Amino acid sequence: MAVFNRNGIDRRSLLASLGVSGALVAAPSVLRAQTREIVVGGAASHKPWVEAHVAPLFERKYNAKLTFEGTRSLVNLEKMQKNKDRPYLSVVQMDDPVMILAVKEQLLEPITAAKASNLAKLKPGTVHMEGQWANYLQPWQGIAYNTNVIKTPPASWAEAYDPKYKGRIIIPSLQNTEGLPNLFMASHLATGKPMAEATRDTESGFKKLISLKPNLLTVYNQMPQAFSLLEQGEAHMIVGALSSFALARRQDGAPIALAAPKEGIFPVPSGIAVVKGGPNQDLAFAYVNELLGAEVQAKIAPPTFALPTNVDVPPPPGMPTGVAVHTIDWAFVADNRNDWVKRWDREMSM
């Protein structure tokens, strides 16, 4: 009986065409050597959906092997730094602020439409620094609330400042990337400036945030503990909560929901980039192109509770529609964040 490989060629015919009909024992290693591989570095939390939805499609379509190394963005950056002369990662999926650091060290290969055609299908504001990286999904930040305590979803970010919530509010630290939107939204609430202007008026933002202190139960650095307090009812809101965590907890039965207030929501920076000089650059760009494409985004947006960035993919059921999604200027953040964190530690300590 003939045994066919994935290209539909039976093994005996293939060996004959290679002129090695007498070397049946050696043949399997020859075939394996022809399979090219890329290694993708990303967050540990990405591993389930990459291996379930992306790797099988990619390996079948490109006759290639995909290995996903799940860790943290800063660890992936360190891997690129230490292996700059002989990189082994082909692609990285990292937070946008860490991408800025990689750009400064010239560790990335720009993505162009010629190498990844789906780049042209992305929403405005999702391609950064002339294609150094792009966003393949937009998990989002809104207000998580305990549904046993709050029966009407918060309609405005300003509700967190209502004195009736004294000692019941949690916010992320500014040391966490998800802490930044509270600073920008505080500036918008204080001044009424359009968000693009408010994000650069952090002086007004800090003054407004200080007025929130009487309502704070705590400021978190570790997200699970904050959600534990929310689920127990000790906290009533987490302001600036991540959809990928909050909606996963809701799906597991926790008494919480996530509101998209009228002022808008903030995307969580989920970037993808090609490592400069990494192995098999053609496959690396092909992988990036697939994650920016409609087919893959339609598969991964629902289980990650995220908004797609490809304009041809509608938001999954349960995701916000018709609400502003505010873009963050990460280069501006990178230039100023150290000073902001110092001020935060000085003025927001509890």
Please tell me the predicted confidence (pLDDT) of residue 318.
Answer: 86
- What backbone torsions phi and psi does residue 26 show, to the nearest 5 degrees? -80, -15
Pairwise CA distance, residues 97 & 179, whole Å: 13
* 150 and 283 in a common domain: no
Total H helices, total E strands in the chain? 14, 14
Task: Give yes or no for residue 211 having a pLDDT over 60.
Answer: yes
37 three-state secondary structure: strand
42 three-state secondary structure: strand
Q: Print the domain residue range for 344.
A: 140-267+327-348
* 134 and 273 in a common domain: yes
Q: Does some domain include residue 11?
A: no
109-134 mean pLDDT: 96
> Which range has the top average pLDDT, 33-37, 205-209, 330-334?
205-209
* 222 and 157 in a common domain: yes
H or E element, residue 217: strand 216-220
Q: How confident is the model at residue 34 (pLDDT cuts 50, 70, 90)?
A: low
Residues near 259 by Cβ (< 8 Å), separated by ≥ 6? 142, 143, 144, 145, 153, 154, 155
* 99 and 173 in a common domain: no
Q: Does some domain include residue 57?
A: yes
Pairwise CA distance, residues 288 & 93, whole Å: 10
* 196 and 282 in a common domain: no
342-348 mean pLDDT: 93
Which long-range contacts (C-beta less than 8 Å, at least 24 apart) are formed by 257-260? Answer: 257/144, 257/145, 257/147, 257/153, 258/142, 258/143, 258/144, 258/145, 259/142, 259/143, 259/144, 259/145, 259/153, 259/154, 259/155, 260/140, 260/142, 260/320, 260/323
Q: Are 288 and 127 in contact (CB under 8 A)?
A: no
SS3 readout for 242-266:
EHHHHHHHHHCCCCEEEECCCCCEE
Q: Does some domain include residue 161?
A: yes
* 235 and 205 in a common domain: yes
* 130 and 177 in a common domain: no
Q: How many CB atoms lie within 10 A of CB 196?
A: 12
CA 132 to chain centre: 16
Task: Give yes or no for residue 181 having a pLDDT over 60.
Answer: yes
| Tens-place pLDDT, residues 213-268 | 999 999 998 899 999 999 999 999 999 999 989 999 999 999 999 999 999 999 98
Q: Does some domain include residue 19?
A: no
Structure tokens at 222: 């570790």
Q: Does some domain include residue 68?
A: yes
Q: How confident is the model at residue 347 (pLDDT cuts 50, 70, 90)?
A: very high
* 294 and 215 in a common domain: no
* 214 and 84 in a common domain: no
What's 290's domain CATH number? 3.40.190.10
Dihedral sign, Cα of residue 52, residue 54, residue 57, residue 60: negative
Greater model confidence, 268 or 79: 79
H or E element, residue 97: helix 96-104
Q: Does some domain include residue 2?
A: no
Number of structural domains in the chain: 2
Single-letter amino acid, residue 229: L
* 262 and 236 in a common domain: yes
Q: Are 133 and 275 in contact (CB under 8 A)?
A: no
Structure tokens at 271: 């970037």
* 343 and 206 in a common domain: yes
Burial 76-108 (b: 16+ CB within 10 A, else e): bbebbeeeeeebebbbbbbbbbbbbbbbeeebb
| Tens-place pLDDT, residues 293-324 | 999 999 999 999 999 999 999 999 989 988 99
Q: Does some domain include residue 247?
A: yes
C-alpha atoms less than 13 angstroms from C-alpha of 12 in its C-beta half-sphere: 3
pTM of the model: 0.79
Angle between the 202-210 and 330-347 helix axes, to the nearest 10 degrees? 30
Q: Does some domain include residue 45?
A: yes
Pairwise CA distance, residues 325 & 308, whole Å: 12
* 340 and 201 in a common domain: yes
Q: How confident is the model at residue 174 (pLDDT cuts 50, 70, 90)?
A: very high
Pairwise CA distance, residues 87 & 83, whole Å: 5
